[in-house]
Amino acid sequence: MARSRKQVAGLAFGALLVIASTTYVFVTPYNRTAGVRIGGTITAPPADFTTAFKRSVGQIKTGGFPPFVVNVSLVPFKDGFITSSRPDGGYWTKRARLAPDGYVRVGDTTFAMTAKEVIGDARKPYLQAMFGPDLNRRLSGGVIIGESEPVGEWQVFLWTPR
């Protein structure tokens, strides 16, 4: 029995949907597109993140539904990791505010963490850890090379173990 064009198109669409869904779940957290699966091995947190880790790119998974996994720059701080974002209304920062319980992955190690936004002058030590000795110049109106927003306007989050 020959299949109609409509049946063949339906099967092709179904196959394409399965391939796209599988790619989204298993591949996208590791490139520039957000994903839903963080992976790694859930591990107990170290006593001091600054001695256990170096600055690196890792993944965060924000709380809420649907899951949202994205690559970020992670800066170890004694209590956890610092992440930051331009003040552009990015999706992960909104999610971290609404549902702060999430996960942070570095290499194959994943930690159950809670995100807390650091605001106002309390951000200065975190920005210092992120941007180094040039921070005072940058806070006085300078911008990060290649970026248009002054550093003092960036959103800063501290991820600590839960």
Model pLDDT for residues 76-108, shown as the tens digit of each residue: 988 899 998 877 777 888 889 999 999 999 999
d(CA 133, CA 137): 9
* pLDDT at residue 28 in the model: 47
Q: Tokens in use for 134?
A: 């040039």
Architecture of the domain whose range is 34-161: Roll (2.30)
Q: What is the mean pLDDT of residues 59-65?
A: 89
Rounded distance between C-alpha atoms, residue 122 and residue 30, angstroms: 32
Question: Which is higher by pLDDT, 64 or 99?
Answer: 99
pLDDT score, position 134? 62
Q: Which is nearest to 63 in space by CA: 26, 105, 115? A: 115
- DSSP string over 46-111: PS-HHHH--SEEEEEEESSSS-EEEEEEEEEETTEEEEEE-SS--HHHHHHHHS-EEEEEETTEEE
